[in-house]
């Protein structure tokens, strides 16, 4: 539902950002499905770009007018081993945008100054926003696989992340096999350079990959034990399985094949700030492009349902009118209903 709430004010080490656009992520669906949340009511949304409107006293490095990226990583604790190694996405006490704090399906949101990344002015908002999560996550997943040029990478799930994963893989010189249930998405995969496309409703992805000797690496953007099982079986010896999709579901590890084939299983979550900067640069120079569907805030619930049932191609992006300002001290923002069990 849509409600009017007071415009947030930046606290210590925070900035107030006027949101230009915010993409819909599978993590939003995951959060919405939870029985308990750390913040209720909660505004979802964490892959967004916007303009700094105000910085709290003492904030350095950002000023009104700067264009910035908001991500799921609001902040790490700053003191743990992960944070000290500049890997706050691994911080066990991290704070997340649109989960612990108010999200970006709103005209305004606050963000931690130290977590922001500049967004190139050339990038349209509907292109830039999904890169803050979908692009960042897909890039890190491909990097995590660590494959040499010429290797086969199997991409399971050609959605908002998967179609970007194919592009990043091709830029690394990888050969790509794409697996999905949608012919429309598989057609997009072929346009993006996938040499093998498999409709998993009609044929076995495992058999298709075995015909080329098996994949050197497989990325599952789908949070399904059955899909992960097929991704694992598609690998050749010394292969790597990268898991990205989130779900409260277990996957049974085939111990014998894991050991004898020396399979590596790698989780992948977000990425480094430097990787996000690289993603923006690739998009700026036209080497990667996001397939988007621009919608208004009122269309967000419908887009969520289409994403849930796999009928959403690319990324749905909520675009806020440029220069829109609400009467003080209230604004319109998206407040999803509290999830029910």
Contacts of 119 (CB under 8 A, 6+ apart): 49, 67, 68, 69, 128, 280
State the pLDDT at residue 314.
75
What percent of the chain lies above the pLDDT cut of 90? Answer: 83
The pLDDT of residue 332: 32
pLDDT digit string, tens, across residues 5-19: 889 999 999 999 999
Q: Check whether 325 has a pLDDT greater than 60.
A: no
Q: Is the pLDDT of residue 328 over 80?
A: no
Q: Is the predicted pLDDT of residue 311 greater than 90, yes or no? A: no
Q: What is the pLDDT of residue 329?
A: 34
**Residue 285 to residue 13: CA distance in whole angstroms:** 32
Q: Give the residue among 244, 97, 223, 254 at the shortest CA–CA distance from 165.
A: 244
Mean pLDDT, the chain, rounded, equals 91
- Give the residues across from 152 on adjacent strands: 175
Tell me the average pLDDT across 306-319.
Answer: 87
Kindly report, residue by residue over 125-162, the tens digit of the pLDDT. 999 999 999 999 999 999 999 999 999 999 999 988 99
What's the whole-number mean pLDDT along residues 8-31? 94
Question: Could you tell me where the beta strands, DSSP code E, fall in 133-246?
Answer: 152-156, 175-180, 196-199, 215-220, 235-243
What average pLDDT does this structure show over 164-182?
A: 97
What does the pLDDT average to over 51-57? 96
Name the pLDDT band for 35 (thresholds 50, 70, 90).
Answer: confident
Check if the beta carbon of residue 283 is closer than 8 Å to that of residue 135: yes
What is the reported pTM? 0.89
Q: How confident is the model at residue 288 (pLDDT cuts 50, 70, 90)?
A: very high
pLDDT at 322: 67
Alpha carbon of 161 to those of 51, 57, 318: distances in Å? 25, 37, 17
**What is the structure's pLDDT at 152?**
98
User: What is the rounded distance in angstroms from the CA atom of residue 11 to the CA atom of residue 109?
Assistant: 12
Least confident stretch, 90-99, 302-311, 323-332: 323-332
Domains of the chain: 2-133+271-334 (3.90.180.10), 135-267 (3.40.50.720)
Cα separation, 242 vs 204, whole angstroms: 20
Measured over the CA atoms of residue 166, residue 223, residue 44 and residue 75, the dihedral's sign is negative
Write out pLDDT tens, residues 57-108. 999 999 999 999 999 999 999 999 999 999 999 999 999 999 999 999 999 9
Residues 288, 171: contact at Cβ < 8 Å?
A: yes
């Amino acid at each position: 539902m849509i409600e009017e709430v007071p415009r947030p004010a930046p606290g210590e080490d925070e900035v107030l950002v006027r949101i230009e656009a915010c993409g819909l992520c599978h993590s939003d669906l995951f959060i919405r499905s939870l029985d308990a949340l750390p913040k209720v009511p909660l505004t979802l949304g964490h892959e967004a770009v916007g303009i700094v409107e105000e910085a709290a006293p003492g904030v350095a490095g950002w000023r009104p007018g700067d264009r910035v990226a908001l991500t799921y990583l609001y902040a790490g604790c700053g003191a743990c081993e992960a944070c000290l190694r500049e890997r706050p996405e691994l911080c066990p006490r991290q704070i997340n945008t649109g989960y612990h704090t108010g999200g970006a399906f709103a005209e305004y949101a606050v963000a931690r100054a130290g977590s922001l990344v500049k967004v190139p002015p050339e990038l349209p908002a509907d292109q830039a926003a999904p890169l803050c999560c979908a692009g960042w996550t897909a890039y890190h997943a491909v990097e995590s696989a660590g494959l040499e040029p010429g290797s086969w990478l199997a991409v399971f799930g050609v959605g908002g992340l998967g179609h970007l994963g194919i592009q990043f893989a091709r830029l690394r010189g990888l050969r790509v096999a794409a697996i999905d249930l949608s012919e429309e998405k598989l057609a997009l995969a072929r346009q993006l350079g996938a040499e093998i496309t498999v409709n998993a409703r009609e044929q076995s992805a495992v058999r298709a990959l075995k015909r080329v000797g098996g994949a050197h690496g497989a990325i599952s953007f789908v949070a399904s034990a059955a899909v992960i099982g097929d991704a694992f079986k598609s690998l050749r010896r010394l292969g790597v399985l990268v898991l990205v999709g989130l779900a409260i579901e277990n996957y049974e590890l085939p111990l014998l094949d894991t050991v004898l084939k020396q399979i590596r299983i790698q989780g992948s979550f977000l990425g480094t700030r430097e990787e996000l900067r690289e993603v923006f640069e690739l998009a700026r120079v036209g080497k990667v492009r996001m397939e988007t569907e621009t919608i208004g805030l009122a269309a967000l619930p419908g887009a969520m349902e289409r994403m849930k049932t796999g009928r959403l191609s690319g990324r749905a992006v909520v675009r806020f009118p440029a220069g829109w300002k609400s009467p003080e001290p209230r604004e319109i923002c998206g407040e999803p209903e509290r999830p029910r069990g």
